[in-house]
Structures are given as C-alpha cells and as structure tokens.
Chain A
C-alpha cells in the first residue's frame, strides 16, 4: 500500500532590528514522503523539491526487508479538508503595515527597542493513500514575535509580545504592546504569600506530555501508574488533546491520518485520569484506544511523540476567576522544571500585576514552586473562558501559588 505525505511551506520572514526591518527572507520549500506499507512493515523515503515519487517508492520497496515493523491497519476511506488560508496580504503590504506598527511604537515609546521576527506562513500538508485516505490541511497565518528592550537596560531583552493570528489588526497590536511597555515601566513592590498566579497552560501541563504518553503508561513507567480511573486532581480540572486547527495552527489529523473521536480526546476528566495519549501502534500494543497522536517528519515512521494539550476552560472570564483580587501574570519564566515526582520550581523573570483585564505594573523577579498534584488539585482555580491578547492571545490558567521574591 502506497501512502504519500506532501508538505509545502511558503514563508515571508521579516527580521526586525531596533524598530526597523533589517532583512526580508522568502522561501518556498516542498517536501515529499513516500510510505510503503506491506507485510506488516513500513518503509519510507523522501525528498526535497521536485521528486520522482515512483523512484522514491521503488527505493522504499528495496529497503522493505530491513524496515520498521508496522502491524496496524493503514488509514483508508476517509476524506477531510481544512482550509484556513483565507488571510491574504502581499509582501509589500506586510512590510508597510509592520513598519507602521514599529513607527507608532517608536513614537509612543522612544526608549524601547523592538527586535526579532515577523513570519507570514502558508502551510499545505496532505496525506493520501491507495485505500482512499485523502486528508489535507491549508493554513495562512502571521506570527509576530517582538522582543522588547528598554534602551537603558543591560539585558538582552526585557519583555516580550508574541502572537499567531490570521489577520493583522495594527491598532490591536499597537495597543497591546503599548500596554505591556507601560506596565513594564510601572515598577511595583514585591508581593508575598499565596496569590492567584496566571500562567500559560503549557508551563504546567508539560509533565503530562511525559507521564501520559502511552508508552510510559503501558510500560508502567509513568508517574501516574496505579492512579488511572481515580480522582487525582480537582473536579474542576479536565485535560484534553487539542486538535482544532483554528486554535492549534496544525492539522486535525495526525501523522497516521487519524482523527480521533471527540470522546477520546479527554485524558483527565473532572480530576479522574482516564487514558494516555497514543498512536496506532502504542494503542494496539497495550490495548489502549487510539487518540490520534502520531507525530514525525514527512519522511519519518509515524510514531508516538508528543501532542498538544489544553485544559478545559471554565465558563468564567479571567477577571471573574480572580474574584475581585489582583493576580500575577507570569510573562517570562525561563528555566524552571519538574522533578521526576512532580515537584516544580521556576524563577519568574518578568511578571505583571493584573485585574484580569489590564496590566497594572511590573513586579520584581520571583520564584514559584509546588507540586503538580496541588497545581491542579487544591490550588487550581480554573482556565479563563476568554483569551488575553497581551499574553499571546491564549486562555490562561489561574492557580493559587505561594510566591516568593527572588
């Protein structure tokens, strides 16, 4: 059975140095992977640019005897198409609009430099095979990554604004960066004690990527071994696999062409650990359900890697979750980690005080720490129903944490 993976990335990239566009890069790269699945094995070859697919399949056939065992059914009889490529902007228009944003910010905050990247990416990704699998994903989006540095600062960067979106609303970008810079310049006194901390979900959920991996669970190597179908976390805490292309900027299907049923995406349900995340082979080996989390490059054997996770949002806005209190928004927390038994500690280099709608001011460097069982247990407040544009246009987690000045 022949299966073909095609990936095309067209990109215009602007390099920003001190509020001006220093360089413009463009690329248009095609990658093709040819998978031959036969006799319980999978052999893959691939190439860049223009390729002769028949030659690649012939090469894959030649290596089949030494290939990887693949004792699962390939995908078939499934068509799915996602097209999110409606955002259109020419390179010249993009440069004009970004220069306008940079100029406005330079005028309002001449003591701040903006550097780094703006990428306009158009992605086409497809998997199709002889059994009727026909999946495609197209997306066009803009990634803004602004490193913000005060001119009097001796650091490489002081704070950050980053967002991925399928539009360019110059006013919204300028307003957000202005708000960040103004809050950064308003230095506040340190706050100690147990305080609602607002943090990007991935910082705290990354332990689940390791310990809810199907291979780890199947081999009884997980931190959560023996705790499945038990209430381990707060009943307000549910964790699921994120596969909505609008939110994830990624295909709805995985590298094996699986689109998992919605009811299989929930890994932790109201505090109960329900299932690990899996691909076809892991699911088969250990008797789990396939949650459609095969990953890999265009020319790699699709296998279980990581997946994108999201905490089920509450029905409350960030402001409502704070219940009239002030919260600490973690803007940059670089270098933290979990110990194997789930204890977490991290310095917080940049944090802002917020009422859930506006950034009030910048707090001194601090540390946050605790156990994953408490983060999503007794200390868990919830995930906001709304997105906070200043913090990457994400839904943010609120956790009551003991905060200490560094």
Chain B
C-alpha cells in the first residue's frame, strides 16, 4: 500500500471517525451536529529515536512518509532492535459493529431518544438547572506497517448524560446520570434507572448533612471502586513510568505483595463499553491483563517500547486520543474482580462507616483522593442518612492493603463526555468498575 523507507521501521494509522452530538439545556437545543473526520498518524523509528507526523492530507501520506524519513538515520540493523521484535504485524478486517453503526440512526431518532430522557426532569420545580447530551462515536482504524501489518478494525460508543442542579444559594446540589453502550439500541430502555438516580439525588439534596472528618470504614460502590482502581493503581501499572528506572523496576517487581489477599485488579481491552479496544494503536491485539492477583503484583500495561525495555510481553495498551497524537501506554477497562460476600454481608459487618455511592472525580499519586458526590453514613450495618464532605484520601499502598471485603457481583461502567487524561492526551475513552469494596480505614475530610 505504501512504499516504506529502507532500513527504518514505519507504520501508518488512518482514522475515520463519525461523531454526532445533541445538547439540550433548559429546554433549548444548544448543539446538533454530525460529522466525519479523517486523519493519519505516521511513525518512523531508526533504532535511536522516533519521528512522528500527523496529517489530514490522506492523499499525500506517501509524501509525508518520505519527508519524515529524511529526519531519521537509516540503520540496517533496525529490524533486529528489540522494540521492533515486539511489534505485531496483524492482518485482517474486524468490523465489530456491522448492522449497528450509530451513523445509520438519524439525528431525528437521536433527538427523540434524548427528549424521552429529558421528559423525566422537565417542569420539575426543584431543579433549577438541567441539561442533556446524546453523543456517539464510531471510529474505523487502519494500520499498515513496514513489518507487514494490514489491519482494519472499529470501536463504537453511544451515550447519554443528564445533568441536574437542585436548589439555589448555599443550598445547592448537582449530579449527573451518565450511561454509555456499544449501540444506540441499548440506550432505549434505561429510563427507570435514570429516574431512580434523579430521585436519589433529590433525596440527597434535601437530607444530606455535614459530618465530622476523621477515619472511617468505607464501602466503595462499583463506580467508586473502579475510579479508585484506575486512579490509584492503574496509572502506576503503566510501564512507561518504569523505563530505565532501576528503583521503579525493583519496587514494582512482579510477585511483590501490594494489597490484601482478596484483591484482584484487571485491565482488559476486550470488555464491551467505552474501554473496548480490540487492537491498540500500534496494531497489537488486546487481551486481559491481571495487574494484581491475590494481592500480588502480576502484570503491567505495555506498548512495544516498554515491553522491549522491560523484556516483557505487549498487552495492547498503546493508545492515543486521536490521529494527532502518538500512542502511549494507557488503560482500557480497569476493574476490581468480584469476591465471595454479598453486598448485604459487607454492609452488615460495619458498625459506623461511610458508603461512597457516586464520585465526581479522583486522583492518585502516592496519595489518592476521591471527591464523592453522593455518600451515606452507615450505622449498625445499614445506610443511615446521606452525608456530605469534600474528599476521602489516603496512601495508595496502605489503602490497597486495608481492603477487607469485596462483593460477589461485578459492574462495569462506561461513560461519554469525558475520559482519562495523561500528559497532553485527554480525553481518552476508558471504562472501569468493580464490586462493592470495603476498606477498613480511610480518612474523610
């Protein structure tokens, strides 16, 4: 397809993306758009340095390859470079959404769907501000390389977000219900869930009380557990942070105990939803990677470069936010695996604790934080009342070790309208989840 320069590695990633978005705010249509964009990202490696170019001029990719090659030093040994040996040369066409493409649904039908959800909140006298968004994205990617890769595959996501704000002045509360699926059709029957969520938010608005900060036993919902897994541990599993760093390699040696015995954390690109990524942006096939198994470090996330550096296998986690960026090591769907206890058992064993149900955002370095949206006091094994505070925080490793129960059912959550950020690349679609996870002690502020 392309004439690749001699004695250099080269690959080309072409992305054709269909997107649509409808946004309604306080009853008024604010945005309605559907579009198709095409762009390409070209990489050349000479054994010492990478050279990248992004372009929208698809007809002149060959010229761009030739121009980029002039910056590199051709090396007859490049094919023997460990990094090149880690790159896969997959071939074939894998259309995962044939017959369910979001572009085959009219904007009129998307508007009707969004309206049907907004009917749940219109004319509600307690809601002082509201908005709703429908958005979708169908990306078709092609990857060609000097190693012989000739791969076509697609990813797709469609989702809804309904945001509400109750009250005014110092008595205000905002929440949003968000759900994403792999097809438009799967969004048609979630009204009861949305309605229940809005009513839960209303109850929180009316009844939430401030609580004193301090250390509590905390139960994390599947959403909170997923964000915790992603932010507090997942980013540390991205192997680009370990390259050439002897301290990190020693600290993150596989087999090391990093959490309680019941803790298992996974990243998988083959779970349906916003983290679905059957091949990464180097053309490597995705799979399920155990990051922590029975509390021990079991694996990490790799691109070809990091796999070569650490002499491990690729995992299909080299991803970019668009054709304008190079693939770097990123998560896909990150979750805590379920355990043995029922949700009721996990709550019943708590005398005085906190249940984090929904979360605004989280972050994690050596110290993690989760900023809850809806949280509840647990008294004598049961939810007592809604409570409000700014954040929970703690040392990541100590907290992983204090996980003392996980429930028996897994929930994976997918989203639209945001994603994961790393360095300059934001937002990357990811998903996350888990069971209900109990931590014996977390600081509440």
Contacts and interface: CB of A to CB of B under 8 A. Distances in A.
A141 to B, nearest CB: 14
Interface stretch (A101-109, A264-272, A299-307): A299-307
B418 to A, nearest CB: 15
Contacts of A49: 55-57
Interface string B334-368: 00000000000000000000000000111111111
Interface string B28-68: 11111101011100000000011111111100000000000
A17 to B, nearest CB: 6
Interface in B224-255: 235-236, 240-241, 243-248, 251-252
Nearest to B129: A221
Contact of B39 (A15, A48, A155, A337): A48
Nearest to A222: B168
A68 interface: yes
A190 interface: no
Interface string A193-230: 00000000000000000000001100111111111000
A341 interface: yes
B445 interface: yes
A130 interface: no
Interface residues of B, number: 70
Contacts of B212: none
Contacts of A156: 235-236, 241, 365
A347 B424 contact: no
B31 A340 contact: no
Contacts of B26: 215, 219
A406 B360 CA distance: 22
Interface stretch (B180-188, B214-222, B290-298, B383-391): B383-391
A324 B388 CA distance: 38
Given A22-B49, A153-B247, A156-B241, A27 B324 contact: yes
Q: Which of A44, A151, A153, A156 is the most central at the interface, judged by chain B CB atoms within 10 Å of its CB? A: A156
A280 to B, nearest CB: 13
Contact of B245 (A151, A335, A345): A151
A202 to B, nearest CB: 15
B367 A17 contact: no
B52 A339 contact: no
Nearest to A26: B53
Interface residues of A, number: 74
B373 to A, nearest CB: 9
A29 interface: yes
Contacts of B391: 335-337, 345-347
Nearest to A338: B390
B440 to A, nearest CB: 19
Given A117-B424, A156-B236, A25 B247 contact: no
B29 A334 contact: no
Contacts of A157: 365
B92 interface: no
Contacts of A299: 33, 35
Interface string B302-341: 0000000000000000000000111000000000000000
B165 interface: yes
* Chain B contact residues: helix, strand, loop or mixed: strand
Contacts of A226: 168-169
Contacts of B54: 25, 27, 29
Given A18-B245, A49-B56, A341-B171, A219 B128 contact: yes
A365 B324 contact: no
B393 interface: yes
Given A26-B53, A156-B365, A301 B247 contact: no
A23 interface: yes
A74 interface: no
A342 interface: yes
B57 A223 contact: no
A303 B23 CA distance: 11
A336 B389 CA distance: 11
A45 B171 CA distance: 41
A117 to B, nearest CB: 6
Interface string B163-174: 001011111111
Contact of B33 (A17, A44, A116, A337): A44
B170 to A, nearest CB: 5
A369 B445 contact: yes
Interface string B417-442: 00000011000000000000000000
A66 B32 contact: yes
A314 to B, nearest CB: 28
A398 B195 CA distance: 44
Nearest to A213: B129
A25 B363 contact: no
B247 A26 contact: no
B367 A349 contact: yes
Contact of B361 (A24, A30, A221, A337): A337
B37 A48 contact: yes
A181 B369 CA distance: 25
A230 to B, nearest CB: 12
Given A24-B52, A344-B390, A17 B243 contact: yes
Contact of A334 (B171, B236, B240, B369): B369
Contact of A219 (B29, B129, B174, B363): B129
A28 interface: yes
A365 B51 contact: no
Given A155-B365, A156-B235, A365-B367, A67 B49 contact: no
A384 interface: no
B244 A17 contact: yes
A355 interface: no
B49 A334 contact: no
Contacts of B169: 222-227
B52 A18 contact: no
A103 to B, nearest CB: 16
Contacts of A339: 388-390
B393 to A, nearest CB: 5
A330 B183 CA distance: 45
B25 interface: yes
A77 interface: no
Q: Which of A67, A221, A336 is the most central at the interface, judged by chain B CB atoms within 10 Å of its CB? A: A221
B178 interface: no
B272 interface: no
29 contacts: A15-B50, A17-B244, A18-B243, A22-B49, A23-B326, A28-B55, A45-B35, A46-B35, A66-B32, A66-B107, A156-B235, A156-B241, A221-B167, A222-B172, A223-B172, A225-B169, A227-B169, A303-B31, A335-B361, A335-B362, A335-B363, A335-B370, A337-B361, A340-B388, A341-B170, A341-B172, A342-B170, A349-B365, A406-B393
Can you list the 4 inter-chain pairs with the closest CB atoms, starting with the nearest?
Answer: A335-B369, A49-B56, A345-B390, A335-B363
